[in-house]
Amino acid sequence: MKHGTKIMIMVFIVIAITAGMLSGQGNEWGNNRGQTGTGNSISGYPVEDLSAREKAGLLQMYEEEKLARDVYNVLFVRWGLSVFSNIARSEQTHIDAIKQLLEKYDLPVDIQKPGEFSNQELAVLYDELTRKGEASIQDALMVGATIEDLDIFDLDRFIKESDNTDIKIVYNNLQKGSRNHLRSFYSQLQNYGITYSAMYISTGYLEKVISTGKERGGITDPEFVF
């Protein structure tokens, strides 16, 4: 075998191995869009009756995750901190997961432009948070922590109000992601000598979050308790 041919074969082998390694790398939602983070597709769970509270929760969380993504994108442009761009990408996976549930239960998916919301309370909150976050880097990081605090709080409420297995599993994975995001913002604030105090979740819950390491892997137990 000629030397050049051997080199080409080795190149193809390296490419194949790399592709295989990359295909096995999943984020908090698994390797494919719409997965729960454990390799199980949302569509694999049965379609159950949807209560009015479950419907309202899905619609709110879709826009609440969009709020996080939109605010973080604005703050990344303003300050250039990678924590905002990294978490904004993660928020997109959260949006996609909720969107899968909305489509599964034939609920309308109102795709708005960045900064636009059907929920007027979230529209007002978006304006307030972006305005505050653009004042200083410290304020921007405080905004990030506040958004994740709110997400954890609301998700806890919606988990308790839901009994559909797929919804509870997705919410638990969303909440896990929000805890990781809160850990990141909390750590960044400490670098500036600032300690974040809980605004929505309890002080005890916040202390538990920051005293534990980053959570990895997906959640499959609908009754998961942090």
Taking only the tens place, the pLDDT of each residue in 53-90 is 999 999 999 999 999 999 999 999 999 999 999 999 99
pLDDT at 35: 46
User: What is the count of structural domains for the chain?
Assistant: 1
* Adjacent-strand bridge partners of 35: 41
The alpha carbon of residue 207 and the mean position of all alpha carbons in its chain are separated, in whole angstroms, by 20
How high is the pLDDT of residue 119? 94
Calpha distance 64→126 (Å, rounded): 10
pLDDT attached to residue 46: 86
Residue 101 located in a structural domain: yes
Any domain includes 149:
yes
pLDDT at 5: 38
CATH code of 140's domain = 1.20.1260.10
Helix (H, G, I), strand (E, B) or coil at 31: coil
Task: Tell whether the model's pLDDT for residue 44 goes beyond 90.
Answer: no
**Overall average pLDDT of the 6-24 stretch:** 33
In a domain, 112, yes or no: yes
Residue 82 token pair: 């990678």
In a domain, 22, yes or no: no
User: What is the C-alpha to C-alpha distance for residues 185 and 143, in angstroms, rounded to an integer?
Assistant: 9
Q: What does residue 39 show for φ and ψ, rounded to 5 degrees?
A: 90, 0
pLDDT > 90 fraction of the chain, expressed in percent and rounded: 77
With contact defined as beta carbons under 8 Å apart, do 52 and 162 qualify?
no
- Structure confidence at residue 13 as a pLDDT band (50, 70, 90): very low
CA dihedral of residues 49, 53, 58, 63 (deg, nearest 10)? 160
Summarize the confidence of residues 118-145 as an average pLDDT: 97
Look at residue 221 and tell me if it is in a domain: no
* Confidence at 43, pLDDT banded by 50, 70, 90: confident
Please list, in sequence order, all residues whose beta carbon lies within 8 angstroms of the beta carbon of residue 110, skipping any fewer than 6 positions away. 118
> In terms of residue numbers, what domain contains 187?
42-210
Q: How far apart are CA 28 and CA 101, in angstroms?
A: 17
Average pLDDT, the chain: 86
The mean per-residue pLDDT over the stretch 138-144 comes to: 98
Residue 165: exposure state from Cβ atoms within 10 A (0-12, 13-18, ≥19): middle
What is the enclosing helix (H) or strand (E) of 130? Answer: helix 120-133
Instruction: With respect to residue 224, please indicate whether it lies within any of the assigned structural domains.
Output: no
Cβ pair 94, 130 in contact under 8 A: no
Low-confidence winner among 21-25, 27-31, 144-148, 160-164 (lowest mean pLDDT): 21-25
19-40, pLDDT tens digit by residue?
A: 333 333 334 443 334 444 434 5
Is 93 inside a domain boundary?
A: yes
**How high is the pLDDT of residue 11?**
32
Asked if residue 35 is part of any domain, the answer here is no
Angle 165-191/203-210 helices, nearest 10 degrees? 80
CA angle 183, 39, 220 (to 5 degrees): 60
Condensed to tens digits (0 to 9), the pLDDT of residues 198-219 reads 999 999 999 999 999 999 999 9
Token pair for residue 150? 């709110």
Give the rounded percent of residues in the chain with a pLDDT score beyond 70: 82
Q: Dihedrals φ, ψ of 27, to 5°?
A: -95, -165
User: Taking 80 as the threshold, does the pLDDT of residue 124 lie above it?
Assistant: yes
pLDDT of the residue at 23: 31
